[in-house]
Structure 1
Amino acid sequence: MSRRPTISDVAHEAGVSKGLVSFVFNGRPGVSPATRDRILAAAAELGWRPNPNARSLTTQTAYALGLVVLRDPAILGSDPFFPAFISGVEAVLSDRGRVMLLSVVPDEERELETYRKLAAESRVDGVFLTDLRHHDPRIALLAELGIPAVTLGRPDVPSGFPVIDRDYGHGITAVVSRLRELGHTRIAHVAGDDRMLHGTRRRDQFAEAVRASGGEPIVVGADFSPDAGAQATRALLARDEAPTAIVFANDPMAIAGMAVAQQLGYRLPEQLSITGMDGSEMSQYLFPPLATVGNDPAEWGRTAAHSLLALIETGASEDVTLPAAEFIPRGSIAPPPTPDGSAVDTPQQTATPSTR
């Protein structure tokens, strides 16, 4: 070659991504022996060696972990997941002499640039990847930058980073099963942001559960924000055959949906059943108390912090599967109204506050 070889040249020669080349030369786990040998052979043939300045990023210590969130601040402010997640992280970091650096960004371009800046300035020792997206570009970028990371959820692209995951389909199936047992046949789902893996996975799990029970799913798209949940509720209840139950992809949208339904004159749960997801603390104090699927964001935070610290300190960390999400039945669900519009008189379900 007439020019100095680059990591891109090595990746092309070995038939892999730049991220995998970076993983091999930084000694990270997640690369098969055969692929590792192929990458090393390609680098030797081309005469490529990693930049010592870039390699030094792995030995410097910032005593900080990063969380970069691509969300509209208005949406982030109404989502109880992140405060609870951060509290779980801080509970671990406070005993380890580390801090968390939070950055909220408006778009993907700014997000990727933020990671590059964090690496260039050695401001964090590792990062938490939340709100995984389809074909998420952050995975390869962080591998290329040599920044250790833990993903909340399993990516749909190759990744050598440890995964913290939870079976959410278990809880969604339980929601649908209970609503079908109560007699609901028109069950709708207000889905989350379809750019996010957990938004589409929850939508698909709902649709699969409804079809498995012999029904036909009704799905309306939203973005996890209360405003979008309110708009979706109005659209669903304006239909000629409105649903008798609505399953929302998170609690903030469900809470907004409850308010809209009551403004329109619906009695809950006698004329409309509503459930949420993520088991927010506030959900149990509504009237009626909101049925939901538990998630325990603080547990996500604690587990992710332990995993990321292990990766930083030892170079390896195992995937962790949290206990399956459980359905928490409460007073916001009941049998559907009879054909004449009257409610079926049945005891409401409740759950103790400790069931989360």
Structure 2
Amino acid sequence: MRRSARRPTIKDIARRAGVSQSAVSFALNDRPGVSPATRERVRRVAEQLGWQPSTAARALSGEGAATVGLVLARPARTLGVESFFLRLVSGVQEALAERRLGLLFQVVEDVAAECEVYRRWWAEHRVDGLLVVDPRHADARPGLLDSLGLPAVIIGGLESGSADGAAEYPAISELRTDDAGAMASIVDHLYQLGHRRIAHIAGLPELAHTRRRTHSLREAAGALGLTEVRSVSTDYSDAQGAAATRAVLDDARPPTAIVYDNDVMAVAGLAVATERGLAVPGDLAIVAWDDSVLCRSTHPGLTALVRDTGAFGRRAATALLALLDGEPAVHVLDERPRLTPRGSTVPLAASRQAHGKALGS
């Protein structure tokens, strides 16, 4: 249910004045592009609705300071060893610093707590916009943020066809990642190397990107006639990554290749293979979803998906700044991460010959 009491937004002004949101932005920011009559009508409607420029808008014109919010609903214990979010936040901060905006960051245990933080920040006028990470299945957050009138950027992209898709909300932009295409590139790489049994050590099952990767694994495998593929969910930690690796290696027909949803779990999987006397890549191929110094520091180096995560964060922050400038929401598919082969994946026949071991058929 939508909240009845909320800050009036540019969307409200545009609807009442009968003009576009861009025209409202031009009129309120005294920019060319609208007639004097339209400018006066927009300002009159804004006054009637009690609209006030956000602190972000004042900061963008050099009149003050503002804050953007980011809440992460993941167990805090999983954050200390994973470099992805640190690199993402670094990129976000670079873009915000150029416009004199601060970043308010908070870690909570679950989405319910995250939503409570949003309500509190809105009530206290603590933030003027939000960066939202880890989109989920049947995500309630876009509807909440729309009801509060808080501009936001969804980082990662909601599920296609979701009833709460960001496209329904004019103040919510979306920076999607091509998880399906990235997973398909991994499956094709492993297939070309001779692998026919592939396991996927995935992240949290409720996350939209986990569901996209799992679905893409099944689709890509099916197109190639592969029937022995599976996904196992974890919390992204090294402990659960190691436990999941042991579980799939205990199968009657264990995988010859494992794809991990982050670098930390991939390194933990490599350690499990070593403790069991399995050679990588002779007995087992390993692929990490996100490249990092960890992937480049192991022996062998780990094949990984490479992207500039800092630049990804900068693009997300820039999209939010555009919303705060009064620009319309956008829905952008970001560039696909590039699969970079290293020593953990080589042609299966060559690895068998090199290590003198035969894998099960």
Of 161, 180, 193, the match for 1:169: 180
- Structure 2 equivalent of residue 25 of structure 1: 12
2: CA distance, partners of 1:225 / 1:281: 17
List per-residue Cα deviations over 1:250-277 (Å, max 9, x = no partner). 2221111111111111111111111110
How far is the alpha carbon of 1:131 from its aligned partner? 0.2
- Structure 2 equivalent of residue 180 of structure 1: 191
Pairing of 1:124-203 with structure 2 (within 5 A): 124-155=127-158, 156=162, 157-159=164-166, 160=169, 161-203=172-214
- Structure 2 equivalent of residue 224 of structure 1: 236
Contact 1:170–1:326 under 8 Å retained in 2: no
Bigger mean CA deviation after superposition, 173-182 or 197-206: 173-182
Of 72, 76, 92, the match for 1:73: 76
| Cα 1:7–1:191 shift into 2, 3 Å | closer
The one-letter code of the counterpart of 2:245 is T
Contact 1:251–1:283 under 8 Å retained in 2: yes
Q: Which consecutive unaligned segments of at least 5 residues does structure 1 have?
A: 1-5, 10-17, 34-50, 347-356
Q: Which consecutive unaligned segments of at least 5 residues does structure 2 have?
A: 21-47, 57-64, 356-361
| Cα 1:109–1:173 shift into 2, 3 Å | closer
Q: Secondary structure at the match of 1:233?
A: helix
Contact 2:55–2:66 under 8 Å retained in 1: no
The one-letter code of the counterpart of 2:187 is V
- Structure 1 equivalent of residue 258 of structure 2: 246
How far is the alpha carbon of 1:308 from its aligned partner? 0.3
- Structure 1 equivalent of residue 108 of structure 2: 105
- Structure 1 equivalent of residue 317 of structure 2: 305
The one-letter code of the counterpart of 2:352 is A
Pairing of 1:45-124 with structure 2 (within 5 A): 55-56=51-52, 59-61=54-56, 63-124=66-127
2: CA distance, partners of 1:141 / 1:220: 31
2: CA distance, partners of 1:91 / 1:60: 19
| Cα 1:221–1:7 shift into 2, 3 Å | closer
State TM-score, norm by structure 1: 0.79
Contact 1:191–1:200 under 8 Å retained in 2: no
| Cα 1:26–1:286 shift into 2, 3 Å | farther
1: CA distance, partners of 2:279 / 2:306: 25
**In angstroms, what is the RMSD of aligned CA positions?**
2.8
Contact 2:264–2:294 under 8 Å retained in 1: no
2: CA distance, partners of 1:26 / 1:252: 48
Q: Secondary structure at the match of 1:332?
A: coil
The one-letter code of the counterpart of 2:326 is T
- Structure 2 equivalent of residue 345 of structure 1: 354
Of 262, 267, 271, the match for 1:259: 271
How far is the alpha carbon of 1:153 from its aligned partner? 2.5
The one-letter code of the counterpart of 2:292 is S
The one-letter code of the counterpart of 1:59 is S
How far is the alpha carbon of 1:22 from its aligned partner? 7.5
Q: Secondary structure at the match of 1:174?
A: helix
2: CA distance, partners of 1:24 / 1:196: 30
Contact 1:172–1:327 under 8 Å retained in 2: no
How far is the alpha carbon of 1:8 from its aligned partner? 6.2
Q: Secondary structure at the match of 1:345?
A: helix
2: CA distance, partners of 1:158 / 1:172: 23
Contact 1:237–1:243 under 8 Å retained in 2: yes
How far is the alpha carbon of 1:158 from its aligned partner? 3.1
- Structure 2 equivalent of residue 37 of structure 1: none
1: CA distance, partners of 2:216 / 2:353: 29
List per-residue Cα deviations over 1:282-330 (Å, max 9, x = no partner). 3112111110112322122100111101101124243332222221111
How far is the alpha carbon of 1:191 from its aligned partner? 1.6
1: CA distance, partners of 2:93 / 2:270: 33
State TM-score, norm by structure 2: 0.78
How far is the alpha carbon of 1:24 from its aligned partner? 4.5
The total of aligned residue pairs comes to 308
Of 285, 293, 306, the match for 1:294: 306
2: CA distance, partners of 1:127 / 1:27: 22
Bigger mean CA deviation after superposition, 246-255 or 131-140: 246-255
List per-residue Cα deviations over 1:179-213 (Å, max 9, x = no partner). 11221111111121111001111111111111111
